[in-house]
Structure 1
Amino acid sequence: MITRRMGHAGPQVSAIGLGCMGMSDFYEGRDENEAIATLHHALDCGLNLLDTADMYGPYTNETLIGRAIRGRRADAFIATKFGILRGADPTQRGTDGRPEHVRASVEGSLQRLGVDYLDLYYLHRVDPDVPIEDTVGAMADLVRQGKVRLLGLSEASAETLARAHAVHPISALQSEYSLWTRDPETNGTLAICRELGVTFVPYSPLGRGFLTGTFASRDDLAEGDYRLSTPRFQQGNFERNLRLVEGVRELARAREVTPAQLALAWVLAQGDNIVPIPGTKRRRYLDENLEALTLTLSPAELARLDELFQRNSVAGQRYPSAVMGMLER
């Protein structure tokens, strides 16, 4: 397994991780037995970075991973998150970064995962009502207590990351990044990660599956799939974005690889401090994703992808408006 370092002086992890959210939440077609088999297969292949959060389910995804890694704790690098509060409406969410919530949340995650410590603990979203210094200060206490090894933030701004890093070293910043979400290139987060020695962990590096080239219409998504409620999958936006993906398909055909492998190879090529976590629920897609590690894109191919996916090329926001306000705080 090709590896990359987690944080400035942290351990080596697999250069591609596994986003586990879809095994328990948001996407349809879930199969718990296949999910467990996929997690076991990942560990067998040397993929050790498993990414979850307490809000996936909520709570059930951590329990699932706990079952899968039982007896194999040493093989897994477990990253989980806290700080998002969910209600009945999946488009409405809150945040809680209070120190007391930090302390309560880690105990719940440790119990559900069945472990004594977490390898990486993220603040899932920044709470605007709590100074980041207070939240990270409480997270740093968990490191001193041996409950957490490394700290991370998710969807934080460059300024917030710098403030947090001054309290305690931040090893990872997780934010959405892919061909069709290139905000980290212009909002300063990629640059400050390089400056501070923070590993950048892109989630949704395949554009929530859109960049795999498997969708021809909205009808290809099952009823109840969360993506149908997001702007980029809305009628009109969907068709415009589909034309962009055709360019990825053409390049992939020329290289005799899949569009997913091409899109992942592009993310990996953006820096050796980048560790994407594509999500999948099935072993065959896991194997497909791992093959991207062997794919090197030429300067001409990288330039063509840059030409296709300029900042304003993609139609629609990343999330519904109510959720967009939680990003880059």
Structure 2
Amino acid sequence: MNATSSDHGVLGKLDLPLGLGVLRLSTEGRPSEADAIAVLHFALDQGIRLLDTADSYALDDRDLHYGERLVRHALDTWHGPRAEVRVITKAGLARPKGRWVPNGRREHLRKTVEGSLAALGVERIFMLLLHANDPKTPLEESLGALAELQKEGKIEHLGLCNTSIAELRQAERHFPVRAIQNELSVIDRSSGVAGLVALARQLGVPFLAHRPLGGHAKTGNLLKNRAVKPIAARHGVTPHEAALAALLDLGAPVIPLFGATRRASVESSLRALKVPFDARDRAELATKISFAPTPDALAATAPPLTPAGLPGLAPGAGPGDDPEVVVMMGIQGAGKSSEVARYLERGYARLNRDVLGGELEELIPRLAELLAARQRRVVLDNTYATRASRYSLIRTAHAHGVPVRCRYLATPIDEAYANVVLRILERYGRLLGPEELKELAKDDPNLPPPAAMARFAASFEAPHVDEGFSVVEEVPFVRRVAPQFTGKGLLLDVDGTLRKTKSGEIFPRSAEDVELLPGRRELLQRFVDEGYQLFLVSNQSGVASGTLSKEAAEAGFARTIDLLGLPVAEVAYCPHPAFPVGCFCRKPLPGLGVALMQRHRLAREHLIMVGDMDSDRDFARALGARYFDAEEFFAVKRPAG
């Protein structure tokens, strides 16, 4: 195709529908600053008017905003029409020790934008894209933070990078999406097939195609690519130029963002603009690859409107006979399985990834098949933490004229942890170590690791009817306790709470190194007299690391009890690694406490925890126990009850 002026939304008319990305000019293996600026100047002189950068285009977190400063220096020293150049930057990735780590927290985005304003030397950023969705931060938080910054006048236009249709529709609740940036090339056509390019065309916004040659590590693959080799040979260009020409032939809104560290690379990319891509090339390309969206993907680009005439659902109605898709939502261990059982008894079909296998999105075509086959009552009970994860599900139900009910089990994470621990105790009779949990989880889908539960809690976005739910019902959590649970329990951390070492070490490696802290026996005796049972609860990760044998740890506990001279009902300790936490028995996770409560029939209202660390305090909160700091607890005279 020949270079022609094309309208690309807020970017306006670009004589050259190409942009230069400065990633490779800014990261590992980058040229000198002078050489990089020379490349930028050459590209600008040839008519490039779009530069793509990011705060994270740098070597590591000590070098942040390098790419933005590079762009600023290049423009400040260029003698061309500066006002014609559009600079796009991004936020949402951190670079600890050179790694690429998503960070979409509100405070991080705000700090990044302030740094980008300074690095670019502007009062307002022309366009900023959320670089990536952070799985540890609700997308709602990230989008809301960017919307706030835009309202404050620090950003003119906002868009998304490395995104999906569901995330884009979610972003539209917060701000107008003015650009989409995703990978697109003859090697990776997924953004076209999934409907992202079609959606950009519908919205009238540019689709910024990064890695238009497959990425630096894969560009060599184009030399043997069956789709572009014949085209390259016919027009006397390189396979790389033919591959870029194929993208350019898609026309607006696609703008390839090529990378270059040398003038020759810029020249090569510009030659792609002159490839006379014709009907024969398109036909030949179509026999091997396609950028076109699938019919389902094209349908998914439509605005997420609740269909008119959709049957209504009565709030609070239990399983019934009318058509409905029920989304049972909540953290792992929330109690969804018990709720689902009520629906199965009434003939609802169940879709659950843990039972059927595969990925969460693979349930969507199964749902469509059930609804098309006149199975009009379906219940789904995976976690569905985010609006994006629920998007396709709701739209699929609506496409078949079926309303969607959300039942959100509002179980706090501490209660969910306790539920999983109770499940483990019931099935296996004891707490399990990280490796045991990992192995048993292969056949037992109801054994989520603590990290998975923490990820859910971190990323969770509360359901709302504006997603397309006909009804959202919040089910509060209620802990049902058997009447025989009446015992009184005093849980005691050990190191720093009851004892110290004679050697000055953090923990004793032998019984002879144990020294009881003053005033412990006298106060604890009063609790024993009031009917409290004493329990020692301790983290002993030294066992896992090999700095402490199991025998030495237990000998140290025995010596502590001897020095205390009081009856101790049980010693419970976690011998597993401190990091990463893969078990439920390491404080502050509640496993040790839940197990003690079950074995000794302890009542929450009569449960006290004494410790000296934040993990002890959080452990008490997870159990619903009263907490006392050891120093304060043993420093005053208090009634036992």
Q: Same fold, TM exceeding 0.5?
A: yes
Q: How does 1:106-185 map to 2 (within 5 A)?
A: 106-185=113-192
- Structure-2 separation of matches of 1:135 and 1:278: 28
Distance 2:5 2:156 in 1: 18
Q: 1 CA distance for matches of 2:258 and 2:269?
A: 8
Q: Tell me the alpha carbon deviations over residues 238-295 of structure 1, each in whole angstroms, 9 at most, x when there is no partner.
A: xxx4674365334212212222221111112224111110100122221221232232
Match for residue 256 of structure 1 among 236, 246, 264: 236
Unaligned runs of 5+ in 2: 292-387, 390-641
**1:99 is aligned with what amino acid?**
R
Output the CA distance in 2 between the equivalents of 1:150 and 1:30.
Answer: 31
- Supply the AA of the counterpart residue of 2:274: T
Q: CA deviation at 1:3?
A: 4.0
Structure 1 or 2: larger strand share?
Answer: 2
Give 2:276's match in structure 1, choosing from 293, 296, 301: 296
Supply the distance in 1 between the matched residues of 2:182 and 2:94 (Cα, whole angstroms): 18
Answer yes or no: is 1:80 the counterpart of 2:89. Answer: yes
Once residues 196 and 142 of structure 2 are traced to their aligned partners in structure 1, the CA distance between those partners, rounded to angstroms, is 20
Measured after TM superposition, the shift of residue 159 of structure 1 is 0.7
1:218-238 deviation line (CA, Å, top 9, x unaligned): xxxxxxxxxxxxxxxxxxxxx
Change (3 A) 1:288 1:242: closer
Question: So what's the TM-score if we normalise by structure 2?
Answer: 0.41
**Structure 1 residue 211, shift from structure 2 partner:** 7.2
1-structure distance, mates of 2:237, 2:217:
16
8 Å CA contact retained: 2:197, 2:254: no
Counterpart Cα distance in 1 of 2:125 and 2:260 = 22
* Comparing 196-205 and 56-65, the one that deviates more: 56-65
Mapped to 1, the partners of 2:270 and 2:175 lie a distance apart of: 33
Contact 1:244–1:308 (CA under 8 A) maintained in structure 2: no
Which portions of structure 1, spanning 4 or more consecutive aligned residues, are displaced by more than 6 angstroms? none
Task: Say if 1:292 and 1:131 are closer, same or farther in 2 by CA, change over 3 A.
Answer: same
TM-score by length of 1: 0.77
- Note the alpha carbon deviations across 1:64-113, whole angstroms, 9 max, x for none: 222111155424211111101223363xx432222222221111111122
- In structure 2, the partner of 1:63 is 69
Task: Give the Cα separation in 2 of the matches to 1:256 and 1:211.
Answer: 22
State the partner residue of 1:287: 267
For 2:43 and 2:111, the matched residues in 1 are separated by 30
Report the Cα offset of residue 145 of structure 1: 3.0
Structure 2 vs 1, CA of residues 125 and 44 (structure 1 numbering), >3 Å: closer, same or farther?
A: same
User: Which residue is equivalent to 2:208?
Assistant: 201
Deviation at 1:39, TM superposition (A): 0.9
Which residue identity does 1:249 align to in structure 2?
K
Q: Which string of whole-angstrom CA distances, capped at 9 and with x for unpartnered residues, describes residues 133-153 of structure 1? A: 432232233333332221111
**Amino acid in the other structure paired with 2:67:** N
One-letter identity of the residue aligned with 1:185: G
- 1:166 is paired with a residue whose SS is coil
Aligned equivalents of 2:34, 2:207: Cα separation in 1: 31
> Are the structure 2 counterparts of residues 247 and 179 from structure 1 closer, same or farther at C-alpha, using a change threshold of 3 Å?
closer
The alpha-carbon distance between structure 1 residues 4 and 120, as it changes in their structure 2 partners (threshold 3 A), is: farther
CA distance change for structure 1 residues 29 and 64 in 2, over 3 Å: closer, same or farther?
closer
Corresponding position: 1:190 with 2:189: no
